[in-house]
Structures are given as structure tokens and as C-alpha cells.
Structure 1
Amino acid sequence: MNAEVKVAILGAASSGKTTLAAALARDHGTVWVPEYLREFVDTEARVPVAQDQIHIARTQRAREDAAMPLAHRYLFCDTTPLMTAVYSRHYFHGIDAELELLANRHQRDYAITLVTASDIPWQADGLQRESEQVSVTINTMLMEELSRRAIPYLLITGTLAERLAQANRHLP
């Protein structure tokens, strides 16, 4: 069965996106799409450069497309090309045209956007996370990006149980 509802889960590093996506998928008997950036960093053993951004966003979308037929009712997406655009703006001072097009599809492609608050302890994660301060900056930029694009979202806070309850109350 195909997913009827794609759910975007966005947030800065170490804000609980992966934990929330996996728990929601488990509770709803469906699949979720892990963040490709994490795999990229692990596989390449380096942080991405500007030229990698579009590859990362395309791969994230391709994995969502591949997961759609496997999902039941919901497909939970641990990040989207919009998050790649935020990182691109921060690290490379801009977003290339193709990445901008992928990011612009956000409102059409996701029925609901959940943003994980940075209210849990920050944890280093090898090459992928630079510092807690960078996560604060990325979170601010994400909120600005959502506002600029007029994308409605639900800020998810608290413990995992509290986050699950908040998300479930707002799932269509």
C-alpha cells in the first residue's frame, strides 16, 4: 500500500529527528526514510562540499520515492531537501537553482511538517556535527526559512513520549 500522508521531520543536528521518525513509523506500522546526509558522511568519511548538496537532496528524494510503495498510511521522512537548502545557505552562502526547486516542492510534497526542538541534550556525532552553537544557528535559519516560505509547522518538544503524543495529535 502507498503512503497517503508524507510527514517531513526537520530540525538541527542532535534534536531527535531520527528517534522521532523511527518511533512514529514503529507506532503506525509503516516505514520511515533515514537522513541520507548521515550515510553520506559515514560512507565518504568527510563532510559534504557545495557540489555535494544537490546529490544529497536528490538521493533523499529518491529514497522517499522508493519507500512510498512500502509505506502504510504514513511515510515519515527524517529530513527533506529543504533542510539541505538550509545547510547549503549556512555553509556555502547560497542554494543552487536545482536545490532551490527541490526545496520549493516542500509544501506540495509533505502533508505536515514537524520541527524537533533543540530541547534535548546535544551530542557530538563524529564528522556530521560541528558544535552545539552551529546547531543553534541552523535551528534559527530553519525557522527563518519556514517563515520565508510560509510553510506551516508544528514544533515538537519534550521527551520522546511527549513528542509522540504531540505528533500523533496533529497527524491527519
Structure 2
Amino acid sequence: MKIGIVGAECSGKSTLSHALHTALQPRYGSVELIPEYLRTWSAQHGRPPQAHEQSHVADTQAARIAQARAACVVADTTPLVTAVYSDMLFQDNSLYAAAIALQRSLDVTLLACLDLPWVADGIQRDGVAMQRRVDARLREVLLAQRLPFATVYGLGSLRLQAALQAITHADARQRAQLPSTAGPAWVWVCDTCSDADCEHRLFSRLTPTTSVRV
């Protein structure tokens, strides 16, 4: 089982990936967490990567995901996120083909949504406006490429439970040998399925509003 978490900056990807790493161990026994290489790279260099360095970040993340051999692999972001940022920041769309191919090979794609408080970290974060643009572009690419994905909302344990439900559905689908086009249980498709505000209003009515730092 290979799980890829995608999402804009400050959408809780790292927190969710660590929570899944712990929560899935009783189910799979062997669980490997693939950290976000971009974070490591930025910390080492004291800055985000420039245009000519984006492919290295994407390729390294892809290689680490591909090389993982645990029964369950949780990837804290995938090359698709790097491809989107490279496109939006540097007008470079050359990373999409490889990123989409890797994304298609995963068993579960979780899209971390924008219902968490914004927290700047001084190195990678570009601001709320860019966050919303990246979220919209990720949805556009996932839908255009017909890549099944589950949107993950909620604070604290609610977010983890939403992710676990999507993974359970994908696991059951695998065991039943159903075609991947069946899609995860949490995909909601309507005429405005790329409208994050519409989706956020729906999930806000379904989840408590208590703020939990994640």
C-alpha cells in the first residue's frame, strides 16, 4: 500500500503523514514514512529551490518513494506538488509527466485541504494567496488526469480519521481486485468539484469547529 499526501503549503501534510505512520502500524506491521525532501533541502540551503533546482527536488522525492519496500509507505508530499509549484512560480511545466506517472502508481492520493490556520515558517511559505492558487491547481491536475483522490478535512483526530477511511476503502478495493477507476469513497464530484470554498462549506457543517493545532 503506497499513500501519497499532496496539498498546498501549510495544509497539514507533515502532521498527517506522521499520524498515519503511527496509526497504520497495527494494520500493516511495516510502515515507512518518506519525509518531504523539499523541507530538508530548504533547511540545508536556507532558501527554497530556484527554477533549475526543482527537478532535483522532484526526482529525489520520487526515487525515495519508489525505493521504499515496506508493506505500507506514507509519502509526505509527492513530485506532483513540486511540479505544480515549478509551473506556477517559474512557468515550467516539464515536471508534470513524470510526476503524474508516479502519482498514478500510488494506491491512495490524499489531498490535504485548507481548513487549518495559516502558520508562516520563514523559508518555504509564500502566503495565503499562493496557497489557494496551488490548491486549485492541484485539484485541476488531479481531475484532468483522472487521478482518484480523497479530500481530507478536519482538525486533529478528525483529519486522521478521514484519511484512514479513504485508506480503508482503497485497501478493500485492492483485496476485491476492483478497478482503480472505482475511486476512493471520499471523492465528491459535482459541477463545481474544483471549488474549494464550496467543498469547505460542506465539510464545515459536518465537523466540529473546535480549533486544534496540527
Contact 2:109–2:148 (CA under 8 A) maintained in structure 1: yes
**C-alpha separation between the residues in 1 aligned to 2:81 and 2:124?**
14
Instruction: Measure, in 2, the Cα distance between the counterparts of 1:102 and 1:16.
Output: 25
CA distance in 1, matches of 2:122, 2:103: 32
Conservation of the 8 A alpha-carbon contact between 1:25 and 1:31: yes
Aligned partners of 1:36 and 1:59 also within 8 Å: yes
Question: Aligned equivalents of 2:166 and 2:73: distance in 1?
Answer: 15
5+ residue gaps, structure 2, are 26-30, 172-214
Q: TM-score, normalised by structure 1?
A: 0.89
Distance 1:149 1:160 in 2: 31
2:174 is the alignment partner of 1:166: no
- CA-atom RMSD in angstroms: 1.3
Q: Which has the higher contact order (CA 8 A, sep 6+)?
A: 1
Residues 89-130 of structure 1 show CA distances to partners (whole Å, capped at 9, x for unaligned) of 10011222xx23321313432111100111010100111002
Counterparts of 1:45-84 in structure 2, within 5 Å, are 45-66=46-67, 68-69=68-69, 71=70, 73-84=71-82
Contact 2:62 2:102 in 1 (8 A): no
- Displacement after TM superposition at 1:75 (Å): 0.5
Specify which of 78, 81, 97 is matched with residue 101 of structure 1: 97
Alignment of 1:147-162 (within 5 A): 147-162=143-158
Runs (4+) of structure 1 exceeding 6 A deviation are: none
CA distance, structure 2, for counterparts of residue 86 and residue 149 of structure 1: 14
User: What's the counterpart of residue 88 of structure 1?
Assistant: 86
Asked if the contact 1:57/1:102 (under 8 Å) is kept, the reply is: no
2:36–2:77 Cα contact (<8 Å) kept: yes
Unmatched tracts of structure 1, length 5 or more: none
Asked whether the equivalents of residues 78 and 103 of structure 2 are also in contact (C-alpha less than 8 Å), the reply is: no
Identity %: 37
TM-score normalised by length of structure 2:
0.73
**Is the aligned partner of 1:14 residue 2:15?**
no
Residue 191 of structure 2 corresponds to which residue in structure 1? none
Larger radius of gyration: 2
Give the number of aligned pairs: 163
Q: CA distance change for structure 1 residues 126 and 75 in 2, over 3 Å: closer, same or farther?
A: same
CA 1:107 to 1:58, structure 2 compared with 1: closer, same or farther past 3 Å?
Answer: closer
User: Which structure 2 residues correspond to residues 10-49 of structure 1 after superposition, within 5 A?
Assistant: 10-29=6-25, 30-49=31-50
Residue 160 (structure 1) shift:
2.4
Measure the CA separation in 2 of the matches of 1:138 and 1:26: 28
Q: Give the Cα separation in 2 of the matches to 1:116 and 1:7.
A: 13
Deviations 1:20-43 (A, max 9, x none): 001001111222111111111111
